[in-house]
């Protein structure tokens, strides 16, 4: 009897440097340039290493060998410098491994918390088979809420794509991404069929007021992309409504028509039953920007503030009477250019309407 034949050293060295299996038995169809697509070993099993192209395996092996030989030579010739370089390399490798581990962890969290739940929600409306792969039907970036990010939903051929179905898909995407999304592109006529979503552009957090040269054109804010938004009041019904929740900046926004109107000499009446919105204390106006209603000498020129419901109703009646008189003068062909404009600002209209009813 003879034992297993020993593989010559030169053959092992050749396999080592060329990335071939050391035992000479192929387990996958990986080539020098291309990774494996099929396991060819009779057991049907192969590790991830065997799926890599041979040039990668060769690079790892020869690089590791060269590193070990260099380390050995350095310890003999320059031990201190070698130890320093080795420590630096180990620290850099630890940082790299840590970053890769964190990247993989965040990717798993992204798939578990967003991609997979979104896929389960879309499976019903899209009539996808059970166990459909999210990689095939979804492309969700790491930060889908970032401006410019594109979330893509691939659509099956049998999906009709009616308007109500598109709306259902859009609502599910909104729900899981948790920011307003809009359909940026949709393709239903031929393969590949898909819908793409991008975050709805949001206005900036703050905007600098821009004075206007036209008394009837007022800058009220900036939209997405800092595009200025103007209100034009030279209409038959020049009314503006500012709507928002508590603390959203309604009163701050109302200072815009106040400043704009006074810039062009308009007379302003402010109904402020809360007695706090337009009474901000400062060095210039120690009794508030609209002054102290009980001390007319301390009020700001051209601005009256009304904090009691009785005074507010009288101010509204006066305002309506002035508007009616102006309209009658214009109908009679009389000029009204010499008369100052009148502006009324009502902070918390609900409070005013409730108080007037009582």
Concatenate the DSSP letters of all residues of 43-80 into one string. T----HHHHS-HHHHHHHHHHHHHHHHHHHHHHHH-HH
- For residue 297, the model assigns a pLDDT of 39
Distance (Å, whole) CA 105 – CA 137 = 22
Are 85 and 74 contacting, i.e. CB atoms less than 8 angstroms apart? yes
Are 203 and 221 contacting, i.e. CB atoms less than 8 angstroms apart? yes
Distance (Å, whole) CA 153 – CA 168 = 13
Mode of pairing for the β-strands spanning 267-272 and 303-306: parallel
Element (H, E) at 4: none
Element (H, E) at 319: helix 309-331
- What residues contact residue 35 under an 8 Å CB cut-off, 6+ apart? 51, 52, 53
Distance (Å, whole) CA 125 – CA 169 = 7
Longest CA span, the chain: 129
- For residue 91, the model assigns a pLDDT of 93
- For residue 3, the model assigns a pLDDT of 53
Are 279 and 290 contacting, i.e. CB atoms less than 8 angstroms apart? yes
Are 66 and 52 contacting, i.e. CB atoms less than 8 angstroms apart? no
- What residues contact residue 358 under an 8 Å CB cut-off, 6+ apart? 309
Neighbours of 326 (CB within 10 A): 15
pLDDT tens-place values along the chain, 358 residues long: 455 567 788 888 898 888 888 888 888 999 999 998 888 888 888 888 889 999 999 999 999 899 899 989 988 888 898 889 889 989 999 999 999 999 999 999 999 999 999 999 999 999 998 888 888 999 999 999 888 899 999 999 999 889 999 999 999 999 999 888 999 999 998 889 999 999 988 778 788 888 888 888 888 888 877 788 888 888 767 888 888 877 777 878 888 888 888 888 888 888 888 766 665 544 555 555 544 545 443 456 788 888 888 888 898 999 999 989 988 998 899 988 888 888 888 888 888 888 887 7
All CATH 3.30.980 domain ranges in the chain, comma separated: 107-199
Distance (Å, whole) CA 206 – CA 204 = 5
Concatenate the DSSP letters of all residues of 221-282 into one string. EE-GGG-EEEEE--SSS--------TTSSHHHHHHHHHHHHHHTT-EEEEEETTSSTT----
* Helix (H) and strand (E) counts in the chain: 10, 9
- What residues contact residue 224 under an 8 Å CB cut-off, 6+ apart? 201, 202, 203
- For residue 296, the model assigns a pLDDT of 45
pTM: 0.52
- What residues contact residue 259 under an 8 Å CB cut-off, 6+ apart? 209
107-199 has CATH 2.60.40 classification:
no
């Amino acid at each position: 009897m003879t034992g297993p034949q020993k593989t010559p050293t030169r053959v092992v060295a050749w396999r080592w440097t060329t990335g071939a299996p050391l035992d000479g038995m192929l387990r996958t169809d990986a080539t020098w340039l291309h990774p494996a697509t099929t396991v060819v070993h009779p057991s049907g099993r192969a590790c991830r290493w065997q799926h890599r192209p041979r040039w990668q395996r060769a690079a790892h092996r020869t690089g590791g060998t060269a590193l070990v030989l260099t380390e050995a030579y350095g310890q003999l010739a320059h031990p201190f410098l070698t130890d320093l370089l080795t420590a630096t390399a180990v620290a850099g490798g630890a940082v790299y491994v840590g970053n890769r581990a964190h990247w993989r962890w965040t990717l798993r969290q992204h798939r578990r918390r967003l991609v997979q739940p979104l896929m389960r929600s879309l499976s019903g409306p899209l009539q996808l088979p059970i166990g459909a792969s999210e990689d095939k039907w979804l492309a969700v970036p790491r930060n889908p809420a970032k401006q410019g990010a594109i979330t893509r939903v691939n659509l099956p051929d049998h999906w009709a794509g009616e308007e109500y179905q598109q709306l259902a898909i859009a609502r599910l995407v909104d729900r899981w991404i948790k920011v307003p999304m809009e359909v940026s592109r949709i393709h239903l006529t031929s393969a590949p069929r898909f819908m793409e979503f991008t975050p709805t552009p949001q206005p900036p957090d703050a905007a600098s007021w821009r004075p206007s040269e036209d008394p009837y054109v007022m800058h009220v804010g900036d939209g997405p992309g800092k595009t200025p938004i103007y209100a034009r009041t030279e209409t038959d019904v020049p009314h503006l409504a500012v709507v928002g929740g508590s603390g959203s900046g309604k009163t701050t926004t109302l200072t815009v028509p106040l400043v704009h109107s006074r810039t062009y000499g308009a007379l302003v009446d402010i109904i402020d039953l809360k007695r706090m919105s337009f009474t901000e204390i400062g060095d210039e106006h120690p009794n508030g920007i609209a002054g102290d209603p009980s001390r007319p000498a301390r009020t700001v020129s051209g601005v009256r503030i009304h904090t009691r419901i009785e005074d507010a109703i009288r101010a509204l009646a006066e305002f309506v009477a002035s508007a009616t008189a102006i309209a009658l003068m214009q109908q009679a062909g009389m000029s009204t250019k010499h008369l100052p404009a009148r502006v009324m600002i009502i902070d918390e209209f609900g409070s005013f309407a409730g108080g007037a009813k009582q």
